[in-house]
Amino acid sequence: MRRGILSIVGRRIEGLTSPRSTLCPIQISPRLPTFRRRVAGARIDSVDRLGKRVIVDLDTGDHIIFEPRMSGLVTLNDAPNKKHIRLVFELNGRPHIRLLFWNVRGLGVVNLFSDAEMAARLGPHKLGPDALDLTGRALRRRLGQSTRPIKVALLDQKAVAGIGNLYASEILNRARVHPQLRCSQLSPARWKRIAETTRKVLTEAIAHQGSTLSDGTYRKADNRPGGYQEHHRVYQRSGEKCGQCKRAAVVKIVQAGRSTFFCPRCQRAPKTAY
């Protein structure tokens, strides 16, 4: 998502509009008139990613924080449909481009933060290390004492930033760790394997430009579907053969109100410390 919009760097924001919509408004802070005033004329210095957020840094010292969340996108010029385009940033220069915030369910959030607000809201005590930089040591330090199931804990952005529900199941399947194991049961070697697998799975997913699921909402910046869903070994594959061992059937359970998919053959629950 970040790569797809890199061409906005160097442009200035000429306008910001929210298309008229009968849908619920996205959460935007500060409110649109203030937001618009603060970004008007600002030059875009860089585009970063932090966990699941896309961060646009302005020469005014402000930062636009996009949180597309589920079924949301930050994209250029074109979106899966017009109906769910929530914000349009008009940029100067040629060719003409517009930065779009597209969001189906209205769960997306857009914030405008100063440097100080960035540190307070997205600093290290608010957000764990990015999943692509994850080490077994860091993961164990943050979660090793927890009594939570490992799958639930992996979704905690304060422990590690960037793992969503889909990838938590895929990571544990590849690491061969049962999702219901408590964090405190896991050995250092196991934490190391989970961290390595996290980096691997997310790197592959990014290389394939993400996963477009059955609802078709996730798209690359050019509005074409991602390809990683073809590589899912367990996610949304209940009853099908596990993509890893190709023998046992994938099982779906619910943890903390979220679906978890796993392979009972690859991911056995050990009887002793693990």
Partner DNA sequence: CATATGTCCTGAGAGC
Partner DNA sequence: TGCTCTCAGGACATAT
Backbone angles phi, psi at 106, to 5 degrees: 75, 15
122 touches 151 (CB < 8 A): no
Give the H or E element holding residue 140.
Answer: helix 136-143
231 touches 208 (CB < 8 A): yes
72 forms beta bridges with: 103
Minimum CB distance to DNA smaller for 53 or for 174: 53
CB burial string 182-215: b at 16+ within 10 A, e below: ebebbeeebbbbbbbbbbebbeebbebbbbbbee
**Binding of DNA by 157 (CB under 7 A):** yes
Which residue among 90, 258, 265, 274 contacts DNA (CB under 7 A)?
Answer: 258
**Binding of DNA by 69 (CB under 7 A):** yes
What part of residues 184-243 is at the interface with DNA (CB under 7 A)?
214-216
**Binding of DNA by 120 (CB under 7 A):** no
Minimum CB distance to DNA smaller for 42 or for 263: 263
208 touches 223 (CB < 8 A): no
Which stretch, 47-55, 85-93, 201-209, 242-250, contacts DNA (CB under 7 A)?
47-55
**Binding of DNA by 2 (CB under 7 A):** no
End-to-end CA distance of the chain: 37
Binding mask 82-101 for DNA (x = CB under 7 A): -xx-----------------
What does the binding site for DNA look like in residue numbers (CB under 7 A)?
23-24, 51-53, 67, 69-70, 83-84, 104-107, 109, 145-148, 152, 155, 157, 164-166, 214-216, 254, 256-259
